[in-house]
Every structure is written in C-alpha cells, then in structure tokens.
Amino acid sequence: MLPSLAPWNAAFTSAVASELETEPFIPFSFSNVGEHGIPHTRTCVFRGFLFNDTKTNVLLFTCDKRSAKFKDLIKNSNFEACFYFHKSRKQFRFSGAVRVITNERHPIIDLSNLSTISSSKEKSGESEIKFNDTDLVVEQEHDFYSIGLDKVGIDEPLMYKIVSPSQTQNMNVSTLSLCELNTTIHAPTEEEWKAERQRCWNDLSRSLKRSFKRPLPGSLLTSEKYRLLDSINRGVDGTSSGQENFVVVCMFVKAVDLVELTGGVDKRYLYKKSYDIDVWKEYEVCP
C-alpha cells in the first residue's frame, strides 16, 4: 500500500491553510524532557511536511545544533506539540518521536514490516479493545500518547512508512499494477536526506539564516560577542554561512488529540498509530 494521509491530516492542513491567509507563519508549542527529567516547552515555527509531501504525515521545524533543545532530544526523542488555530477554533496535540537531519545525522527508517506493497488487508496484530461508554480511551489503549519508550534515542531506527521521494515520483502507475508487480518500497537515501535539509535551508529568510551564525546560544554576552552580533546583523561578519549549525527536526506523529470548539457541542477525536505498521485507529470521545 502506498503512503497515504493519516485521518487527522486533512483537518490539520486545512486549518494551516486558513491560518496562513492572514498570518505570516504558524507558531506552536513544543515540549520535551531534559536530561534530569524536567519538562521544557518552547514556541517553534511549523515548516511544513517532510519532503514537502503531506502524505508523509511528518511535521517539520528547525533548530540550532548547539541549543539545549537539540542536546536534550539526542538522549530522549519523545515529544508533544500543541497547535491552536484561531480561525477554525481547533487544537491539535501531537505526540511521538523526533528524528533530525543534520550535516552528519538523518533518520533511519525501518521498512521491514512495510517493504512489500500488497493488495491484502493490513492487520495491526493487536487485539481489538472493547470499550464501555464510561471507559477512558487513554487508559484502555496501552501507552496511548507515547509508543516504544524503551527506544528513546534519536539514532534508533524508526518504523514509519517513509518512502524514497524518487521512488514515489516514479510511481505513476495504478496501485493495482504495483500490487501485481509486488513492488518493494525503499526508504530515502542519504543523498535524499541531504537534499531535504538543503531544501529547508533554502526556504529560510536571510535574517533567519544569519541566526545560525550567532555565538553559542545561552552563553554569557560579552562586549566581543555583542560586536559579533552587530556585525552579523549588518552582514559584515565574514564568517561561515552558519548552515553547519542548522537542524531540521522531524516530528514522527504516533498519537493525536484533536479538539474542535464549535460554539455549540464541542467535538474531540483521538487518533493512534500502530507502532509497527501504517494503520491508524480513530475514536470520537467526549470533549
């Protein structure tokens, strides 16, 4: 089966498009856990979908490789991100695992359970959970908001249906014919990850690119560093481009909590991705 939109994706992309009609960018709150178990939350800017393809279902933002946030994520890649859209009055809470694209790192995608495109119906391998009307889904569904916590390192292979962009571009034949050919799908190559990092860098404004040339984030501001900051701002510093510090952060979503404020009877939906295959469960719950 080819990659497809997750059931929450259409509502999210619609809300993003509506917000961007009047706003220059989409901010959101990003939370992770530091080395000592203390939660940290920061405001980040949504940079679109991985490979500029909504069907990946992977959300992007960028950061500095020298930042505390990046150092925390190296050791514990679990995250939660919260978006609120004023126009559509929708809130999305995303939970999952982060992977990064740097000049020396890229996500390792494990397609061992997904490598063959088949016409047979995929099964989750999980026993079907029966709910009573008073049950809490987040309690009945094992590990609802975070899956695979035994593997939190950012370099661990990740089971997620991310197909090589060059392969998806060449798939201009019908799904039926692909099934007949029993075509094997492939993860992105190292060159494709590098090209994606370059694409994201090219999309940044000139002023934002300059921010990656600044002195070490969080270091003491001295007169020498102040002069360097001033020269960087004026574009006369003569230093490197700063791209060596540029990181693309990929949010691989495993659970979503969507609340729709209708002004009447509000609605709430929970979505959970199976850990080992590309299948989502959807529940409508009380807001």
**Per-residue pLDDT reduced to its tens digit, 61-77:** 999 999 999 999 999 99
Full DSSP string of the chain: ------TTHHHHHHHHHHHHTT-SS-EEEEEEE-TTS-EEEEEEE---BGGG-GGG-EEEEEEETTSHHHHHHHH--EEEEEEEETTTTEEEEEEEEEEEE-SS----B--TTT-B--SSPP---SPPPP--TT--HHHHSTTSS---TT---TTS-B------HHHHHH--S-HHHHHHHTPBP-PPPHHHHHHHHHHHHHTS-HHHHHHTTSSPTTS---HHHHHHHHHHHHT------SGGGEEEEEEEEEEEEEEE--SSS-EEEEEEE-SSSS-EEEEEE--
Given a cut of 90, whether residue 254 has pLDDT beyond it is: yes
Instruction: Report the share of the chain in percent with pLDDT over 70.
Output: 86
Q: Which CATH number applies to 9-285?
A: 2.30.110.10
Average pLDDT over the chain, rounded to whole? Answer: 87
| Between 93 and 124, residue with greater pLDDT | 93
Given a cut of 70, whether residue 127 has pLDDT beyond it is: no
Q: Residue 244's pLDDT band (boundaries 50, 70, 90)?
A: very high
Q: What is the pTM of this model?
A: 0.90
Residue 124 confidence (pLDDT) = 42
